[in-house]
Amino acid sequence: MRRIDIHCHPNTVEWFTAITPYVEALRTYWHRPWAPLSEEEVINDLREAGVQVLMVAFDTETVTGCPPCTNDYVAGLRDRNPDVVLNAWASVDPWKGPQALEEAEHAIADLGLIGFHFHPICGNFSVGDPKLRPLFEKITALGVPVLIDVGTTGMGAGAPGGLGRRLSMSRPMPALDDLAAEFPQLKIIAAHPGWPWTDELLMICLHKGNVFWETSGWGPEYFPEALKHDIPRRLQDKVMFGSDYPSLTHTRLFDGWSRLGYSDTVMDKIFHANAERILNL
């Protein structure tokens, strides 16, 4: 069975530089060392796991002062490793204003990236903020989807004050629901199980035809019960596989999925068919 991972981080020096403030907290959160690998090591990891991935760029420079893991960089990963990296999610820092709009155009028109990833907690914004409307108008005009983190995060977890990050920025209601209603032509993929607001996200995903879901960053055994119940039922045509690599290994995730006992038909949709259809892969 083909396995498409729609949420994979580069795990190289370029990515670690962009997330510098959070590395120590992530080491504690995930109970293991976090250190960058070479591009060759990352690609070998993914190739051995038998996955094809969408890489994720990262730009929260206004908040952290750290240089981004750029759109040009992830486009290069794709171009150098086409058998493993299908494409990549661009990242733009919404607080960069006109520069963000220019970078959005560059990411799609020049680099051919698949769409845009947003990390509201790390970027210190809500996707429902009216100040972001010009950016989402631009993205909608470009005709590409967005991948938006929802729920909690390991970024800053356990540190005093969570390193200043506000979890409310990634609550689905009302921000994600408002965005989906205001931009009905915009495909929105919610990233992660969305805990502790899983029921809010379930409601939005079932109500809004332009909202989809991927479950990266959690072992399937820890999915909230509502999500586990509805994946093979009302969500079977909405849910896609993501890992959040390097947070979790593909081996662990595939083992966890196999233990949920879903039918081959459902797993075929989750691992590749939904992504192929929704993202035109």
Q: What is the structure's pLDDT at 27?
A: 78
Q: What is the structure's pLDDT at 163?
A: 77
**Least confident span in 10-24, 198-212, 248-262:** 10-24
Q: What is the structure's pLDDT at 41?
A: 97
| Res 34 pLDDT > 80 | no
**Total residues found in the chain within this entry:** 281
- pLDDT (average), residues 87-104: 97
63: enclosing H helix or E strand: helix 61-64
- pLDDT (average), residues 50-74: 97
> For the domain that residue 14 is a member of, what is the CATH number?
3.20.20.140
User: What is the percentage of the chain residues whose pLDDT exceeds 90?
Assistant: 88
Q: What is the structure's pLDDT at 198?
A: 97
73 vs 21 pLDDT, higher one: 73
Domain span holding position 200 = 4-278
- pLDDT (average), residues 36-42: 97
- pTM, two decimal places: 0.96
| Res 31 pLDDT > 80 | no
Domain count, the chain: 1
**How many C-beta neighbours within 10 Å does residue 216 have?**
24
